[in-house]
Structure 1
Amino acid sequence: MKNYILIVMTAVLLLSCKAKTATNNPIGTDNAIAANATFFNKIKEKSNFQQLKINSRVSIENGTFIPTLDATIYIENGQKVWMNMIAIFLNVGRGIATPEGIKGYEKWNKTYIESDFSYLNKLLNVNFIDYSSLQNLLLGKTFIPINEKDFLVTKNAQGYRLISSKNLTFTNNGQVSEYSVAMDFSNDFNLMQVNLVDKNKTNELEISYLNWTGFEEMMLPKNVKIIIKGTKTSQILLENTRFESSKMDTPYSVPNNYTKTEIR
């Protein structure tokens, strides 16, 4: 089980919910939109909540047995994402993300991590994730940097499709990555699916948001499936079972005698 709780924890600090095996019907690209300022304004709207508590069930599929985890995820808008995880009624780990980076520990192997966002970027085979994009990804909002001139928007009865007209270039700490990007939105501008493929077609990231629901003047996805394709394929499946807006304590401290795991 070594290091897998840390992988789960950092992965869940990205997202929100167990995806069902049902797939979305593809959104067609029948009609290009000439005047699309309204569309881009809607998909780039910022969240205006103060705090959000989410109860989730988390599953990982990567060729190694990892038990289903019950997670409590707590978000203070723009400040932190905190989570606590339980497996078979036992507390197994805790983590926190802030604009400065991520921290987490797991009890089975008594290890912990402290890092900037490079670990999360490596996990997802990208290099543009920071705290703001992490929070947006968790809430099902547009998390990829978008410039209107780099995309083509099309529309049909099922919603909208956003396709990059050229490879998007992301640079972070001297690392340059290029991706083709496709994003599907519902008629209500809810994000349904994101697909990133690197220019060499060796890495691919696909995220599907399902079962959107209204909660206190905002829309949230109840189900998400994340598929990470590289040298092997992994899936992160989560299911949000409850949303609350109550404020809660978020304690975090690494227990004594834990060993730091280096990020590689």
Structure 2
Amino acid sequence: MTATADPPMPSAEDYEGEEMTLWEHLEELRSRLFKAALALMLTFIVGFLLNEFVFDILIKPYCSLDPSLRVSSAIFDDESCRLVFSDVLGAFKVRLKAASVIAITFGGPVVFYQLWAFIVPGLKAQEKKYAAPFFFLSQFLFLLGAAFSYFVIPKGLEFLLSFGGSNLISLMDADRYISFLIRTMIGFGVSFEYPLLVAILVLMGVVSHAWLKEYRRHAFFGAFVAAAVITPSQDPATMIVMALPLALFYEICIVFAKFVERGRGADVDPEVDAAT
């Protein structure tokens, strides 16, 4: 019988931070949480101080609509763009939500970085090699999805508000509009993280290039279902626009899986490979 070599034991250099005591870990966690909270607080304050500028940006998708779909053209007899609020604290709540958009956009990456910085010392050297690219890519994809939604929202609003016809007037509540905007941006941002999940499964060997190709149709159908669930407006135009990038990401994951398998020396079926 041929003796098989035992797998190499992890060296001391493979792990960092495991020599820390429990108290030191808790102290490190407290420091990271404090920095994350401080980042959110500072970006929120900046957003609140720049409220007018931020709100002008957030209201643009609504203001880009045809004047006939906005209440201003019906009441004020001009093409100005105005939102309304119906309670005493309505304007204040809108300003808080507008500031929270800045906190999420610019403070969120700092929060994730602090979390990553706390976890990464305990990873193996091989795991660290993938941790940093995945971290920065996750931030980029989330912001890309949020920014992408900003240009899609006008189509969704136009579709929904056009149902009113000439007998109904759109009296857009500012608080509900900002909430709708935030939910849509977060929904797009989270959905754009989808290729990272598939890439992790590929690197773990859970799914393969051939498996991804076999279930391509299922993935495309799932992309449209996910778009229908995530999209707050539920209109066909916005759902299609969200589903198309998800389908494109899936195709990129198939190519990524092919390169990973070739790098590992895996045999890729020529017939399957040629059908790509």
Q: Common fold, TM-score beyond 0.5?
A: no
TM class, shorter-chain normalised?
under 0.3
Which structure carries more helix by proportion?
Answer: 2
Q: Which has the higher strand share?
A: 1
TM-score using structure 1 length: 0.24
Asked which structure has the greater RCO (Cα within 8 Å, sep 6+), the reply is 1
Considering only CA atoms, is the larger Rg found in Structure 1 or Structure 2? 2
